[in-house]
Structure 1
Amino acid sequence: MRGVTVRASEVLGTIDNYNDEQLRIVPANQDYVDAARASLINKDGERAYHAGNFDDAIWLDREAISFNPEFGQAYSNLGLAFQKAGRAAEAIWANRKAIALANGATAATVRASSYYNIGRIYEDAGQFTDASSNYRAARREKSNPVYDAAITRVSNR
C-alpha cells in the first residue's frame, strides 16, 4: 500500500464495530462445546502463526473458537495473528475478547499478553498514552521485564 496514508484514528476508531457475527466466529454447535478439539486446533493455529502463515493461523484460531466460544487463549492468538496480518482493529477486538474470557490457571498470562499486544498496536500507531495504559495493565496482570521496557519506551515519547 505505497502512497496510501492511513490515520490511526481511522483504523483504531472502528474497534467497537466488530462483533462475533461480523468476524464469522460462530460456534460449530450452539449446544455443544468440545474443549479438547478446540485446544488441538488452537495448537495447529500456533504452529501456523510461528511458520508465518497468518491467514492460516486466523482461520485455525476461528475454528478453535467455534468449538469453544469461551476459549480466551484462542482469542489472544487470533488477536496476535490479526496484528501480524496488519488488521489492527480486529486484533484489538480479539485481544479485548481474550481479556474478558481469560480464566483458569493461565488467566493472568492471557490477560497480560493481550494487553501488551494492544499496547503494541497503539504504540505502532503513535498513540503513546493508550499504549502506556495497556502496557501498565499488562504489568498489573503479570510481572515481565518486556512490559517494563515497553512502559519506559513509550514514556520517553
Structure 2
Amino acid sequence: MPPQVSRLIMIFAVIGLAFIATRWWARPDTFGQYGHYRGSALSAAVDKEPHYINKSVCVECHDEEAALHVAGPHKKVSCQICHGAGAVHAEDPQASNIRKPEVTSTCQRCHEKRAARPARFPQIETAEHADNEPCNSCHVVHNPSETK
C-alpha cells in the first residue's frame, strides 16, 4: 500500500475516533430515554422562569388600555406582540420600561405593505400613508381604528 494511502487512512481513523469521543463526552446522560429526546428536557423547561405572561396579568394594572384594546381590531393580538416579554415588567414595573419608543417600526412589522400578506389585511406604505409621521400622531395605539 502506498504511504500516502496509509496516512490518509490514519487521518480518517483519528478524525472518526475524535468524533466518537466528542459525541460520547457531550451527550447528556438522559439522551435517548424517550427516543431521540433528552429525558430531562421537560423538567429543565419547567424550571425556567417565564418570560411571557397571560394578557390578564397586563389588564390588572392597565385597564384603560385593555378597554381600548378589546374594542379595537387588535383584540386577538397579545400585548406582548407589540411590547415584548412582560414577565419582568409585571414583577416590578419600575425596573423595566415596556413601552416601545419606536411606534412606527412596531406597527410596520405587521402592517408594512408586502406581497406575501393577504390582500384583506390592512397594509400601508408608510411614506405615502402618513408622510413618515409616527403612527400614534393620528391613531390611538391600543385601538388604531380610533383616530386622534
Band of TM-score, shorter chain: under 0.3
TM-score, length-normalised on structure 1?
A: 0.21
Larger-Rg structure:
2
The answer to which structure has the higher strand fraction is: 2
The answer to which structure has the higher helix fraction is: 1
